[in-house]
Amino acid sequence: MADKEDKLPNQPEGKFYVDSQCIDCNLCRETAPENFKRDDDNGYSFVYKQPEGEEEEKLCMEALESCPVEAIGNDG
């Protein structure tokens, strides 16, 4: 389970976040490309934009549930 005390930097305020367990597998970016981006300098994914609307929310939850290392959190 993602740890909100271990959130990666520079993510927007809101309920979804990525913590340092991220292994940069690309799954979240493929699942919810409007919301997750890659930090090319550090090699991890992060929340670029909090979901807007039901469809983006659904895709972010799908990314969270599919994350192989449970690095995506939801404080909502």
The domain that contains 22 carries what CATH number? 3.30.70.20
What is residue 22's predicted lDDT score, i.e. its pLDDT?
Answer: 98
Q: How is residue 41 annotated by DSSP?
A: T
What is residue 76's predicted lDDT score, i.e. its pLDDT?
Answer: 83
Tokens standing for residue 29: 């970016």
What is residue 11's predicted lDDT score, i.e. its pLDDT?
Answer: 97
How many domains does the chain divide into? Answer: 1
Q: How is residue 51 annotated by DSSP?
A: -
What is residue 10's predicted lDDT score, i.e. its pLDDT?
Answer: 93
Q: Which domain holds residue 35?
A: 4-74
Sites in the chain below the pLDDT cut of 50 = none
